[in-house]
């Protein structure tokens, strides 16, 4: 148990005078000046029990100072440190603003690691007795219609998972990691698929246009 000895800066909590709050420190004390434990939810934000009601610590401190929050707003930690519940570190944002702020400050370096460690996957269609090699688990999922989790378990040989059924056509697949060359390239969603002969045709048209432009310049001179 942790007790608060110095009570300078503490005042009665408006919603329940049995508790005292220091809005600058971002802490609440109860009987015998014991600092109330904050239980951390799955998203790590601190919650606290006042009486029999569980409340968000940051929201409780904000409302103590500014009054009840009207409308659909989130209490945001300005410095992104959820352990810093000082009133000076709290602000109101709409949910959209809060999500945007979180996205800008989020660490995406793990994506580079995933890309660096990506493995080629061989999908063997037991229904048609054919196989293809894909550049990654997710590309394999998009083409075969088998959940990426099942594909990974098959490749890692975990949870006794040996095969997966396609949601697209009910074909049964088995999967394994491989170093073979990729045999099937799946374009990104909404990407335009261009056939090889169309590319050649477009290049020939471009060359004809260039020749025509040159001839026009020669005539003008």
Question: Tens digits of per-residue pLDDT, 89-142?
Answer: 999 999 888 888 887 777 656 555 555 556 899 999 999 999 999 998 888 999
> Could you tell me the pLDDT band of residue 185, with boundaries at 50, 70 and 90?
confident
Cα–Cα nearest to 56, from 215, 179, 64: 64
Helix ranges (DSSP H) in the chain: 57-66, 95-105, 109-116, 137-144, 148-156, 196-220
Domains of the chain, first to last: 11-105 (3.90.75.20), 119-178 (1.10.10)
List CB contacts of 135: < 8 A, sequence separation 6 or more: 118, 120, 182, 185
Which tops the pLDDT comparison, 193 or 86? 86
Using a cut of 0.75, tell me whether the model's pTM lies above it: no
pLDDT on residue 172: 95
- Per the listing, tokens 């040159």 go with 214
Whether residue 55 contacts residue 47, with contact meaning beta carbons closer than 8 Å, is answered with yes
pLDDT, average across residues 159-187: 90
Q: How far apart are CA 80 and CA 91, in angstroms?
A: 11
Of 218 and 131, the one with more pLDDT: 131
**Residue 183 CA, distance from chain mean position:** 30
Q: Which of 86, 56, 57, 91 is nearest to 73 (CA)?
A: 91
Least confident of 21-30, 116-125, 164-173: 116-125
Per-residue exposure over 104-125, b if at least 16 CB sit within 10 Å of its own CB, e if not: eeeeeeeeeeeeeeeebbbbbb
- pLDDT at residue 143 in the model: 92
- If you average pLDDT over every residue of the chain, what do you get? 80
Closest by alpha carbon to 62, among 30, 29, 95, 84? 84
Euclidean distance between the first and final Cα of the chain, in Å? 94
pLDDT of residue 193: 41
For 15-24, 60-69, 126-135, 185-194, which range has the lowest pLDDT when averaged over its residues? 185-194
- d(CA 155, CA 126) in angstroms, rounded, equals 16
Q: Identify the band that residue 146 occupies on the pLDDT scale cut at 50, 70 and 90.
A: very high
**Average confidence (pLDDT) over 76-99:** 91
């Amino acid at each position: 148990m942790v007790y608060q000895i110095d009570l300078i800066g503490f005042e009665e909590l408006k919603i329940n005078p049995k508790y005292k709050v220091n809005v600058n420190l971002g802490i609440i004390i109860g009987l015998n000046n014991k600092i109330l434990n904050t239980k951390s939810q799955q998203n790590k934000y601190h919650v606290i029990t006042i009486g029999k009601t569980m409340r968000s610590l940051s929201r409780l401190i904000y409302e103590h100072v500014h009054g009840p929050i009207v409308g659909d707003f989130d209490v945001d930690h300005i410095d992104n440190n959820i352990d810093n519940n000082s009133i000076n570190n709290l602000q109101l944002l709409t949910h959209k603003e809060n999500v945007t702020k979180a996205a800008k400050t989020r660490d995406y370096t793990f994506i580079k690691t995933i890309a660096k460690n990506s493995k080629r996957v061989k999908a063997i269609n037991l229904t048609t007795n054919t196989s293809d090699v894909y550049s990654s688990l997710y590309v394999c999922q998009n083409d075969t219609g088998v959940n990426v989790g099942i594909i990974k378990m098959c490749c890692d040989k975990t949870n006794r998972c040996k095969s997966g059924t396609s949601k697209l056509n009910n074909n049964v697949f088995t999967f394994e990691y491989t170093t073979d060359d990729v045999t099937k390239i799946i374009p990104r969603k909404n990407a335009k698929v261009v056939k090889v002969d169309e590319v050649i045709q477009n290049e020939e048209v471009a060359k004809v246009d260039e020749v025509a432009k040159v001839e026009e310049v020669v005539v003008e001179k």
